[in-house]
Amino acid sequence: MAELFDDLDTVDLTPTRRAGLQRLEGFAPAMGRRYASERNHDFGPRERRNVSMLSPWIRTRQILEEEAARKALERFALSTAEKFVQEVCWRTYFKGWLEHRPAVWTVYRQELDRQHDRLAGNAGLRTAFEEATEGRTGIDCFDAWARELVDTGYLHNHARMWFASIWIFTLKLPWELGADFFVRHLMDGDAASNTLSWRWVGGLHTPGKTYLARRANIRKYTDARFDPEGLAPEAPAIDGFANPPKSDLRHGDRLPEGEIAMLLTEEDMNVETLRPPGARVAALGGVVFPDARSPEGAGVRARDFVGHAMSDALERGEALLGVVGERLDGDADLAAQLRELAGAAGTNTILTGFPPVGWVRPKLDAAREALADEGIHLLYRQRDWDAAFWPHATAGFFKLKKQIPATLAELGLPV
């Protein structure tokens, strides 16, 4: 697997938990004030020592959010590691916020289909879209980032914000197509973080508040690698689906005991901690749905990362649980495959990680409903981290931010 990723930059992005843990340990000394002072600088794809780049592993939960926060807090006081811990919590916030308002994802996908139909019938829009995604706009930084995203499957967080702003306000392209371009190619592509970040830039997530990419800011934080001309001078909020009232959260199921089958998905590959106390895993399966993330499927880097990450998770599961890990086909009938998995284990209970709002949940919910008619229970285990933080993700990030110290203490982390 390493040869697929060792040409990206100085960070080993091999999609294994071992590589993620090595990166976590190696970056730990920089999780304090150094991170706070340097994190906004994008020095280019060959110089990433100022950011953790843990997001692809955290996205698949090869590394847990709790593990990342604990590593920082074992070395630094919360006041020193505050910025790093907050960045970990931003992903949690976005997931929790979307759990409260799943209609935002539904409407985004519907509008995305409409925009793809427009691409097919509007030659001017299609040309502008292709120039943007192929890095041919003439805006130096934007074009470099478009190519970097496709080639590496990663972009610095600050570059993502600049890119989205230029896409929306300078190029005046539909934000849904930009969000889709990101999620197709990002190794850490996530329904909540990606969709809501694009909505935030455009002034939809925090109504009326937009993000404007400025020439001087880009020049400063890219160490003068770029000096873009012709950027939009203002960023008026775009029209779009308004935030609906929050709804009640879905919760995980009661943890089973006895003989079970376990299913790993791209939402939770942490086989080491998914098994509940009192349960014995008699069969193990794993499935990913890379092409479900977009009408255009997944890019090479995103597909390779999640696919090889699942292979690693099944290998770890085999060693830990003493069972053969079976790779399921994401394009085939999932309920039928899970029925066979349960039958092989001699159980009517299958446990998987709680699927948040996104492209995996509909797959699992459909299988869960079909299996229930046959007396087979597909159960969702919710992580304590999510259960503790998501209730605070009802408004802006500041509301959750105020609860970080108390919530970390509740979870048993050193604060």
- What pLDDT was estimated at residue 255? 96
**pLDDT tens-digit map of 18-64:** 999 999 999 999 999 999 999 999 999 989 999 999 999 999 999 99
pLDDT tens, residue by residue, 240-291: 999 999 999 999 999 999 999 999 999 999 999 999 999 999 999 999 999 9
pLDDT in tens, the chain (415 residues): 434 334 444 567 899 999 999 999 999 999 999 999 999 999 999 899 999 999 999 999 999 999 999 999 999 999 999 999 999 999 999 999 999 999 999 999 999 999 999 999 999 999 999 999 999 999 999 999 999 999 999 999 999 999 999 999 999 999 999 999 999 999 999 999 999 999 999 999 999 899 999 999 999 999 999 999 999 999 999 999 999 999 999 999 999 999 999 999 999 999 999 999 999 999 999 999 999 999 999 999 999 999 999 999 999 999 999 999 999 999 999 999 999 999 999 999 999 999 999 999 999 999 999 999 999 999 999 999 999 999 999 999 999 999 999 999 999 999 9
If you ran DSSP here, which 8-state letter would residue 394 be given?
A: S
CA distance linking residue 85 with residue 44, whole number of Å: 24
Give me the pLDDT at residue 10, please.
Answer: 55
148/154 Cα distance (integer angstroms): 7
C-alpha span between 213 and 303 (Å, rounded): 30
Res 201: pLDDT: 98
Half-sphere exposure of 332 (CA within 13 A, CB side): 8
For the chain, the average pLDDT equals 96
- Which of 138-142's residues contact partners 24+ apart within 8 Å by CB, and which partners? 138/230, 139/166, 139/170, 139/228, 139/229, 139/230, 139/231, 140/226, 140/227, 140/228, 141/166, 141/218, 141/222, 141/225, 141/226, 141/228, 142/166, 142/167, 142/228
Burial class (CB within 10 angstroms; exposed 0-12, middle 13-18, buried 19+) of 10? exposed
Task: Render 321-344 in DSSP notation, one character per residue.
Answer: HSS-EEE--TTS-HHHHHHHHHHH
Instruction: Give residue 282's pLDDT.
Output: 97
Predicted confidence at residue 1, as pLDDT, reads 42
